[in-house]
Amino acid sequence: MKKQQVRRQEDNMGKNIDWSNLGFGYVKTDYRYVSNFKNGAWDEGTLSTDDMVTISECACVLQYAQTVFEGMKAYTTEDGRIVVFRPDLNAERMENSAKRLEMPVFPKDRFVDAIVKLVEANADYVPPYGSGATLYIRPYMFGTNAVIGVKPADEYQFRAFCTPVGPYFKGGVKPITIRVSDFDRAAPRGTGHIKAGLNYAMSLHAIMDAHRQGFDENMYLDPATRTKVEETGGANFLFVTKDNKVVTPKSDSILPSITRRSLVYVAKEYLGLEVEEREVYFDEVKDFAECGLCGTAAVISPVGKIVDHGKEICMPSGMTEMGPVTKKLYETLTGIQMGRLEAPEGWIKVIR
């Protein structure tokens, strides 16, 4: 084991965290990054040990849900470095989200700098290589001043905290069962393409209902025609055809997943696979060989079964393991993230 890696593991032991038994829950870390927007400008921003937010009871975020967020991860690589995966894309996506909700943009270079400072300050909470655990990073922004008539706030807070999270596939990969939802996720020409809390507030009933009926997730169809596959509540679809083509749905109301975009690149450039980004009709799903859900949390979560009002579609890849192409995609992307495989230019932001 390299010296740097040994030191990292000793650091981690100092926090007394049982990395392999961590779940996906909030664990308070030492520092968070905070910057406030007032009189038309962002202040210089700072790290803070205060995990509490104090705002007006009439804050725009509390009355009208004016808030956007991001999610990404920091990892310890095989050679003991701490890295973050493509934070520039999170910065760009948050810019688009903010503009759609009439919020000021937190500049991209400042966003990346905030993430670097946050992870550096909480380096002891970055799980060691091989533990399967990661440091989840949550940047977000919200309207803070009192607003009672419907209009955007003019004061905002940008904040980023991080929390260590356990391995997504504890005790091995297990394909999930999903259902076609009777609820819609995003209206055509609505806000489905931005990462805003409002899209999640209205999905809470749909996901709890799915769980009560014994399903892991909802497959949302396009609300206009209910014939095309959109996404789930928090992950994009990736399908594999019987002749090993990767197919991923294209729609203006799908959230542009950074994981999905990275997997498409990996499929083409690392694995030499053909990729189609296009409208995907639900009628086609029964003919696919593999199905996975892509997002930062799991990278790819395999789908074994899709249920449409009692009619079951059982993916040929089955209920015990990832399909072969999904698995290759998963191993290649996680290999890039963990430093086992060479990354495309600009994909890995080294913290230290």
Ligand X SMILES: *Cc1c(COP(=O)(O)O)cnc(C)c1O
Q: Which residues bind ligand X (CB under 6 A)?
A: 71, 195, 231, 234-236, 255, 257-260, 294-296
Residue 147 or 348 with smaller CB distance to ligand X? 348
Shortest Å distance, C-beta 234 to ligand X: 5
Within its chain, how far is the Cα of 294 from the centroid?
8
Catalytic residue among 73, 195, 305, 328: 195
Q: Residue 165 is inside which H or E element, if any? A: strand 156-165
Written as six digits, the tokens of 68 are: 């956007």
Among candidates 297, 304, 319, 312, which has minimal Cα distance to 180?
A: 312
Distance CA 100, CA 123 (A): 34
Is residue 99 flagged as an active site residue? no
DSSP codes of every residue in 95-158: HHHHHHTT-----HHHHHHHHHHHHHHTGGGSPPTTSS-EEEEEEEEEE-SB--SSS--S-EEE
Number of residues written out for the chain: 352
Residue 119 or 121 with smaller CB distance to ligand X? 119
Shortest Å distance, C-beta 311 to ligand X: 25
Residue 259 or 317 with smaller CB distance to ligand X? 259
Shortest Å distance, C-beta 139 to ligand X: 12
Distance CA 345, CA 334 (A): 16
Shortest Å distance, C-beta 54 to ligand X: 27
Residues that are catalytic: 195
